[in-house]
Amino acid sequence: MATTTKRSIPLLKHLLRHTQTQTRPVTYMPRPGDGSPRTVTLIPGDGIGPLVTGAVEQVLDALHAPIIFEKFDVHGDMKTIPSEVLDSIKRNKVCLKGGLNTPMGGGVSSLNVQLRKELDLYASLVNCFNLPGLPTRHENVDIVVIRENTEGEYAGLEHEVVPGVVESLKVITKFCSERIAKYAFEYAYLNNRKTVTAVHKANIMKLADGLFLESCREIASKYPSIKYNEIIVDNCCMQLVSKPEQFDVMVTPNLYGNLVANTAAGIAGGTGVMPGGNVGADHAVFEQGASAGNVGKQKIVDRKTANPVALLLSSAMMLRHLQFPSFADRLENSVKRVILEGKYRTKDLGGTSTTQEVVDAVISNLD
Protein backbone atom coordinates (compact mmCIF):
# COMPACT_ATOMS: atom_id res chain seq x y z
CA MET A 1 0.00 0.00 0.00
CA ALA A 2 2.84 2.37 0.92
CA THR A 3 4.59 1.61 -2.37
CA THR A 4 1.46 2.41 -4.37
CA THR A 5 1.08 5.73 -2.51
CA LYS A 6 4.69 6.70 -3.22
CA ARG A 7 4.28 5.92 -6.91
CA SER A 8 1.10 7.99 -7.15
CA ILE A 9 2.68 11.16 -5.69
CA PRO A 10 4.76 12.02 -8.81
CA LEU A 11 1.69 11.36 -10.98
CA LEU A 12 -0.42 13.70 -8.85
CA LYS A 13 2.25 16.40 -9.06
CA HIS A 14 2.32 16.03 -12.85
CA LEU A 15 -1.47 16.29 -13.06
CA LEU A 16 -1.47 19.35 -10.81
CA ARG A 17 1.16 21.07 -12.93
CA HIS A 18 -0.79 20.23 -16.09
CA THR A 19 -3.99 21.55 -14.53
CA GLN A 20 -2.26 24.78 -13.47
CA THR A 21 -0.91 25.43 -16.97
CA GLN A 22 -4.39 25.03 -18.42
CA THR A 23 -5.92 27.55 -15.99
CA ARG A 24 -6.92 30.79 -17.65
CA PRO A 25 -5.55 33.99 -16.09
CA VAL A 26 -8.11 35.82 -13.98
CA THR A 27 -6.20 39.05 -13.40
CA TYR A 28 -6.39 40.50 -16.93
CA MET A 29 -9.33 42.86 -17.35
CA PRO A 30 -9.36 44.58 -20.74
CA ARG A 31 -10.49 48.15 -21.03
CA PRO A 32 -13.56 48.92 -23.16
CA GLY A 33 -12.47 49.00 -26.78
CA ASP A 34 -9.30 46.92 -26.27
CA GLY A 35 -10.64 44.32 -28.71
CA SER A 36 -10.96 46.79 -31.56
CA PRO A 37 -8.78 45.88 -34.56
CA ARG A 38 -5.43 47.67 -34.77
CA THR A 39 -3.86 48.76 -38.02
CA VAL A 40 -0.18 47.85 -38.33
CA THR A 41 2.20 49.03 -41.05
CA LEU A 42 3.74 46.06 -42.90
CA ILE A 43 7.01 46.25 -44.85
CA PRO A 44 7.78 42.85 -46.46
CA GLY A 45 11.24 44.08 -47.50
CA ASP A 46 13.90 42.24 -49.51
CA GLY A 47 15.02 38.63 -49.98
CA ILE A 48 13.20 36.27 -47.64
CA GLY A 49 11.18 39.19 -46.23
CA PRO A 50 8.02 38.60 -48.30
CA LEU A 51 8.14 34.88 -47.44
CA VAL A 52 8.34 35.35 -43.66
CA THR A 53 5.97 38.32 -43.48
CA GLY A 54 3.54 36.31 -45.59
CA ALA A 55 3.88 33.51 -43.03
CA VAL A 56 2.93 35.94 -40.26
CA GLU A 57 -0.11 37.13 -42.21
CA GLN A 58 -1.35 33.56 -42.59
CA VAL A 59 -0.88 32.65 -38.93
CA LEU A 60 -2.46 35.85 -37.60
CA ASP A 61 -5.39 35.30 -39.94
CA ALA A 62 -5.81 31.75 -38.59
CA LEU A 63 -5.66 33.17 -35.07
CA HIS A 64 -8.37 35.70 -35.95
CA ALA A 65 -6.08 38.28 -34.35
CA PRO A 66 -7.50 41.82 -34.42
CA ILE A 67 -4.77 43.09 -36.75
CA ILE A 68 -5.21 44.87 -40.08
CA PHE A 69 -2.04 45.26 -42.14
CA GLU A 70 -1.28 48.33 -44.22
CA LYS A 71 1.34 47.03 -46.65
CA PHE A 72 4.07 49.02 -48.41
CA ASP A 73 6.68 48.04 -50.98
CA VAL A 74 10.07 49.22 -49.65
CA HIS A 75 13.50 48.00 -50.74
CA GLY A 76 16.97 48.59 -49.40
CA ASP A 77 18.29 50.15 -52.60
CA MET A 78 15.95 53.12 -52.26
CA LYS A 79 17.64 56.38 -51.27
CA THR A 80 15.11 57.18 -48.54
CA ILE A 81 12.09 55.70 -46.81
CA PRO A 82 9.05 56.92 -48.78
CA SER A 83 7.13 59.64 -46.94
CA GLU A 84 3.86 57.70 -47.13
CA VAL A 85 5.50 54.80 -45.27
CA LEU A 86 6.75 57.06 -42.48
CA ASP A 87 3.33 58.71 -42.28
CA SER A 88 1.72 55.27 -41.95
CA ILE A 89 4.03 54.21 -39.11
CA LYS A 90 3.56 57.54 -37.32
CA ARG A 91 -0.20 57.14 -37.64
CA ASN A 92 -0.36 53.45 -36.66
CA LYS A 93 2.44 53.59 -34.05
CA VAL A 94 3.45 49.98 -34.84
CA CYS A 95 5.22 48.37 -37.80
CA LEU A 96 6.22 44.81 -38.73
CA LYS A 97 9.02 44.50 -41.25
CA GLY A 98 11.14 41.99 -43.09
CA GLY A 99 14.82 42.55 -43.75
CA LEU A 100 15.96 45.47 -45.90
CA ASN A 101 19.14 44.96 -47.85
CA THR A 102 21.84 47.58 -47.26
CA PRO A 103 24.24 48.09 -50.19
CA MET A 104 27.91 47.90 -49.23
CA GLY A 105 29.73 51.21 -49.66
CA GLY A 106 28.87 53.62 -52.45
CA GLY A 107 27.49 56.28 -50.14
CA VAL A 108 24.01 54.72 -49.93
CA SER A 109 22.73 55.04 -46.38
CA SER A 110 20.92 52.20 -44.63
CA LEU A 111 17.13 52.48 -44.64
CA ASN A 112 17.11 50.56 -41.36
CA VAL A 113 19.20 53.29 -39.73
CA GLN A 114 17.06 55.99 -41.37
CA LEU A 115 13.93 54.42 -39.92
CA ARG A 116 15.38 54.27 -36.41
CA LYS A 117 16.52 57.89 -36.53
CA GLU A 118 13.35 59.28 -38.10
CA LEU A 119 11.10 57.57 -35.53
CA ASP A 120 13.61 57.86 -32.66
CA LEU A 121 13.54 54.11 -32.08
CA TYR A 122 16.29 54.39 -29.52
CA ALA A 123 16.10 50.89 -28.01
CA SER A 124 16.74 47.65 -29.90
CA LEU A 125 15.77 44.49 -28.02
CA VAL A 126 16.79 40.97 -29.01
CA ASN A 127 15.78 37.98 -26.88
CA CYS A 128 18.17 35.02 -27.29
CA PHE A 129 16.96 31.86 -25.55
CA ASN A 130 16.95 28.09 -25.85
CA LEU A 131 13.86 26.65 -27.49
CA PRO A 132 12.84 23.26 -26.00
CA GLY A 133 13.60 20.49 -28.48
CA LEU A 134 16.18 22.47 -30.44
CA PRO A 135 19.68 21.14 -29.64
CA THR A 136 22.40 23.75 -29.06
CA ARG A 137 25.92 23.76 -27.64
CA HIS A 138 24.74 25.49 -24.45
CA GLU A 139 21.70 25.07 -22.22
CA ASN A 140 19.92 27.56 -19.94
CA VAL A 141 20.56 30.48 -22.29
CA ASP A 142 18.09 33.34 -21.83
CA ILE A 143 19.74 36.63 -22.75
CA VAL A 144 18.11 39.94 -23.57
CA VAL A 145 20.40 42.32 -25.48
CA ILE A 146 19.27 45.95 -25.27
CA ARG A 147 21.21 48.15 -27.67
CA GLU A 148 21.31 51.92 -28.06
CA ASN A 149 19.97 52.46 -31.55
CA THR A 150 20.53 56.07 -32.62
CA GLU A 151 24.15 57.14 -32.09
CA GLY A 152 27.65 55.68 -31.71
CA GLU A 153 29.37 54.58 -34.91
CA TYR A 154 25.95 54.33 -36.56
CA ALA A 155 25.58 58.12 -36.46
CA GLY A 156 27.02 57.94 -39.98
CA LEU A 157 29.27 61.00 -39.55
CA GLU A 158 32.02 60.20 -42.04
CA HIS A 159 34.11 62.27 -44.39
CA GLU A 160 37.29 62.03 -46.43
CA VAL A 161 39.91 64.32 -44.88
CA VAL A 162 42.32 63.96 -47.80
CA PRO A 163 42.38 61.33 -50.55
CA GLY A 164 42.99 57.97 -48.95
CA VAL A 165 42.13 59.13 -45.40
CA VAL A 166 38.59 58.76 -44.05
CA GLU A 167 37.44 59.97 -40.65
CA SER A 168 34.44 58.31 -38.98
CA LEU A 169 33.09 59.85 -35.80
CA LYS A 170 31.68 57.91 -32.87
CA VAL A 171 29.12 60.01 -31.00
CA ILE A 172 28.13 59.17 -27.42
CA THR A 173 25.89 61.50 -25.41
CA LYS A 174 24.85 61.46 -21.78
CA PHE A 175 21.20 61.87 -22.77
CA CYS A 176 21.09 58.81 -25.04
CA SER A 177 23.26 56.71 -22.69
CA GLU A 178 21.03 57.42 -19.70
CA ARG A 179 17.93 56.80 -21.79
CA ILE A 180 19.03 53.34 -22.94
CA ALA A 181 20.30 52.42 -19.46
CA LYS A 182 16.96 53.40 -17.95
CA TYR A 183 15.14 51.30 -20.54
CA ALA A 184 17.33 48.29 -19.73
CA PHE A 185 16.74 48.57 -15.99
CA GLU A 186 13.02 49.16 -16.46
CA TYR A 187 12.86 46.06 -18.64
CA ALA A 188 14.69 44.03 -16.00
CA TYR A 189 12.43 45.34 -13.24
CA LEU A 190 9.18 44.70 -15.15
CA ASN A 191 10.23 41.21 -16.30
CA ASN A 192 11.66 39.93 -13.02
CA ARG A 193 15.21 39.88 -14.37
CA LYS A 194 18.00 39.84 -11.81
CA THR A 195 21.09 41.33 -13.50
CA VAL A 196 21.98 44.05 -15.98
CA THR A 197 25.45 43.97 -17.57
CA ALA A 198 26.87 47.00 -19.37
CA VAL A 199 29.15 46.16 -22.33
CA HIS A 200 31.90 48.68 -23.11
CA LYS A 201 35.46 49.40 -24.25
CA ALA A 202 36.18 52.17 -21.75
CA ASN A 203 39.71 50.90 -21.18
CA ILE A 204 40.55 52.29 -24.64
CA MET A 205 37.75 54.72 -25.50
CA LYS A 206 37.99 56.42 -22.14
CA LEU A 207 35.84 59.45 -22.88
CA ALA A 208 33.12 58.01 -25.13
CA ASP A 209 32.60 54.61 -23.49
CA GLY A 210 33.53 56.19 -20.17
CA LEU A 211 30.51 58.47 -20.49
CA PHE A 212 28.33 55.47 -21.37
CA LEU A 213 29.52 53.65 -18.22
CA GLU A 214 29.03 56.70 -15.99
CA SER A 215 25.44 56.97 -17.25
CA CYS A 216 24.78 53.27 -16.63
CA ARG A 217 26.18 53.50 -13.09
CA GLU A 218 24.01 56.50 -12.32
CA ILE A 219 20.85 54.72 -13.46
CA ALA A 220 21.89 51.47 -11.72
CA SER A 221 22.01 53.30 -8.38
CA LYS A 222 18.26 53.89 -8.68
CA TYR A 223 17.52 50.15 -8.97
CA PRO A 224 19.14 48.59 -5.86
CA SER A 225 17.21 45.32 -6.27
CA ILE A 226 18.88 44.62 -9.62
CA LYS A 227 22.51 43.53 -9.73
CA TYR A 228 24.73 45.62 -12.00
CA ASN A 229 27.86 44.36 -13.79
CA GLU A 230 30.27 45.76 -16.38
CA ILE A 231 32.28 43.83 -18.97
CA ILE A 232 34.73 44.83 -21.70
CA VAL A 233 33.33 43.91 -25.11
CA ASP A 234 36.16 41.57 -26.18
CA ASN A 235 35.94 39.63 -22.91
CA CYS A 236 32.15 39.67 -23.33
CA CYS A 237 32.43 37.87 -26.69
CA MET A 238 34.72 35.24 -25.20
CA GLN A 239 32.40 34.73 -22.22
CA LEU A 240 29.38 34.50 -24.52
CA VAL A 241 30.77 31.55 -26.46
CA SER A 242 32.08 29.77 -23.35
CA LYS A 243 29.51 30.48 -20.59
CA PRO A 244 26.50 32.31 -22.05
CA GLU A 245 24.19 31.19 -19.25
CA GLN A 246 25.84 33.73 -16.90
CA PHE A 247 24.23 36.67 -18.74
CA ASP A 248 20.74 38.03 -18.16
CA VAL A 249 20.04 41.55 -19.52
CA MET A 250 22.85 43.24 -21.43
CA VAL A 251 22.90 46.96 -22.26
CA THR A 252 25.26 48.17 -24.97
CA PRO A 253 26.21 51.07 -27.22
CA ASN A 254 25.13 50.73 -30.84
CA LEU A 255 27.91 48.82 -32.61
CA TYR A 256 28.73 46.44 -29.75
CA GLY A 257 25.06 45.56 -29.42
CA ASN A 258 24.83 44.48 -33.04
CA LEU A 259 27.81 42.14 -32.60
CA VAL A 260 26.72 40.81 -29.20
CA ALA A 261 23.11 40.18 -30.27
CA ASN A 262 24.11 38.21 -33.37
CA THR A 263 26.66 36.20 -31.38
CA ALA A 264 24.12 35.39 -28.67
CA ALA A 265 21.55 34.42 -31.29
CA GLY A 266 23.97 32.00 -32.91
CA ILE A 267 24.68 30.41 -29.55
CA ALA A 268 21.02 30.00 -28.61
CA GLY A 269 19.80 28.37 -31.80
CA GLY A 270 20.46 30.64 -34.76
CA THR A 271 19.29 33.92 -36.18
CA GLY A 272 16.23 32.23 -37.69
CA VAL A 273 14.55 31.75 -34.32
CA MET A 274 15.42 34.91 -32.33
CA PRO A 275 12.73 37.60 -32.01
CA GLY A 276 13.34 41.30 -31.63
CA GLY A 277 12.11 44.81 -32.05
CA ASN A 278 12.96 48.49 -31.94
CA VAL A 279 11.07 50.84 -29.70
CA GLY A 280 10.89 54.53 -28.89
CA ALA A 281 8.60 56.73 -26.87
CA ASP A 282 5.88 56.76 -29.54
CA HIS A 283 6.57 54.02 -32.08
CA ALA A 284 7.70 50.41 -32.34
CA VAL A 285 9.04 48.35 -35.25
CA PHE A 286 9.19 44.55 -34.88
CA GLU A 287 11.47 42.39 -37.00
CA GLN A 288 13.79 39.38 -36.85
CA GLY A 289 15.96 39.95 -33.79
CA ALA A 290 19.40 39.23 -35.23
CA SER A 291 20.30 41.12 -38.39
CA ALA A 292 22.49 38.32 -39.82
CA GLY A 293 20.46 36.38 -42.37
CA ASN A 294 17.35 38.57 -42.22
CA VAL A 295 17.49 39.04 -46.00
CA GLY A 296 18.84 35.57 -46.80
CA LYS A 297 20.42 33.99 -49.85
CA GLN A 298 18.68 33.88 -53.21
CA LYS A 299 18.54 30.07 -53.25
CA ILE A 300 16.49 30.14 -50.01
CA VAL A 301 14.07 32.54 -51.68
CA ASP A 302 13.88 30.40 -54.81
CA ARG A 303 13.28 27.19 -52.84
CA LYS A 304 10.90 28.94 -50.41
CA THR A 305 12.69 27.46 -47.41
CA ALA A 306 13.13 30.58 -45.25
CA ASN A 307 12.67 30.04 -41.52
CA PRO A 308 9.61 32.03 -40.33
CA VAL A 309 10.07 31.30 -36.61
CA ALA A 310 11.96 34.49 -35.69
CA LEU A 311 9.37 36.79 -37.23
CA LEU A 312 6.49 34.74 -35.82
CA LEU A 313 7.95 35.15 -32.33
CA SER A 314 8.55 38.85 -33.03
CA SER A 315 4.86 39.04 -33.96
CA ALA A 316 4.01 37.58 -30.56
CA MET A 317 6.06 40.41 -29.03
CA MET A 318 4.08 42.84 -31.19
CA LEU A 319 0.76 41.38 -30.03
CA ARG A 320 1.79 41.85 -26.38
CA HIS A 321 2.87 45.40 -27.17
CA LEU A 322 -0.63 45.98 -28.60
CA GLN A 323 -2.18 44.52 -25.42
CA PHE A 324 -3.41 41.31 -27.02
CA PRO A 325 -1.73 38.89 -24.56
CA SER A 326 -3.94 35.87 -25.22
CA PHE A 327 -3.26 35.95 -28.95
CA ALA A 328 0.46 36.35 -28.24
CA ASP A 329 0.48 33.35 -25.90
CA ARG A 330 -1.36 31.15 -28.38
CA LEU A 331 1.00 32.07 -31.19
CA GLU A 332 4.15 31.60 -29.12
CA ASN A 333 2.96 28.29 -27.64
CA SER A 334 2.12 26.94 -31.08
CA VAL A 335 5.56 27.83 -32.46
CA LYS A 336 7.24 26.21 -29.46
CA ARG A 337 5.17 23.04 -29.90
CA VAL A 338 6.24 22.77 -33.54
CA ILE A 339 9.90 23.19 -32.57
CA LEU A 340 9.56 20.65 -29.75
CA GLU A 341 7.94 18.03 -31.98
CA GLY A 342 10.76 18.46 -34.48
CA LYS A 343 8.82 17.19 -37.49
CA TYR A 344 8.72 20.47 -39.39
CA ARG A 345 11.96 22.43 -39.44
CA THR A 346 13.75 24.42 -42.11
CA LYS A 347 17.31 23.59 -43.21
CA ASP A 348 19.00 26.00 -40.75
CA LEU A 349 17.46 23.96 -37.91
CA GLY A 350 18.48 20.62 -39.38
CA GLY A 351 15.26 19.87 -41.26
CA THR A 352 14.02 19.86 -44.84
CA SER A 353 10.71 21.71 -44.52
CA THR A 354 9.59 24.63 -46.64
CA THR A 355 8.35 27.90 -45.15
CA GLN A 356 4.78 26.91 -45.96
CA GLU A 357 5.09 23.52 -44.27
CA VAL A 358 6.26 25.21 -41.06
CA VAL A 359 3.40 27.72 -41.31
CA ASP A 360 0.84 24.92 -41.78
CA ALA A 361 2.26 23.11 -38.74
CA VAL A 362 2.05 26.25 -36.60
CA ILE A 363 -1.55 26.83 -37.68
CA SER A 364 -2.53 23.22 -36.93
CA ASN A 365 -1.03 23.54 -33.44
CA LEU A 366 -2.96 26.67 -32.50
CA ASP A 367 -5.22 26.07 -29.51
**236 and 278 inside one domain:** no
Please check whether residue 185 lies inside any domain of the structure. yes
- For residues 279 and 258, membership in a common domain is answered with no
Structural domain count, the chain = 2
Asked if residue 20 belongs to a domain, the reply is no
For residue 130, give the DSSP letter. P
State the chain's mean pLDDT as an integer.
90
Residues 243 and 310 in one domain: no
Residue 344, amino acid: Y
Last residue of a domain, one of 248, 268, 288: 268
Which parts of the chain sit beneath pLDDT 70? Answer: 1-26, 105-108, 293
Q: Indicate whether 31 belongs to any domain.
A: no
In a domain, 33, yes or no: no
Q: Same domain for 257 and 145?
A: yes
Q: Is 242 helix (H, G, I), strand (E, B) or coil?
A: helix
pLDDT tens-digit readout, 13-32:
454 444 444 566 667 788 89
- Which residues span the domain enclosing 256? 137-268
Report DSSP letters for 153-203, one per residue: EEEEEEEEEETTEEEEEEE--HHHHHHHHHHHHHHHHHTT--EEEEEE-TT
Task: Report residue 319 CA to chain centroid gap.
Answer: 13
**Termini Cα distance of the chain:** 40
What CATH number did the domain enclosing 212 receive? 3.40.718.10
Same domain, 238 and 275: no
Rounded CA separation 240/49 (Å): 29
* 258 and 145 in a common domain: yes
Instruction: Give a yes or no: residue 5 inside a domain.
Output: no
**Does residue 13 sit within a domain?**
no
155 belongs to a structural domain:
yes
Q: How far apart are CA 291 and CA 112, in angstroms?
A: 10
| Alpha carbon distance 132, 199 (integer Å) | 28
Chain centroid to Cα 20, Å, comes to 29
In terms of domains, do 360 and 243 share one?
no
Could you say which of 216, 248, 268 is where a domain stops? 268
Closest CA to 187 of 132, 147, 230: 147
Q: In this structure, is residue 12 part of a structural domain?
A: no
285 and 365 in a single domain? The answer is yes
Last residue of a domain, one of 268, 286, 320: 268
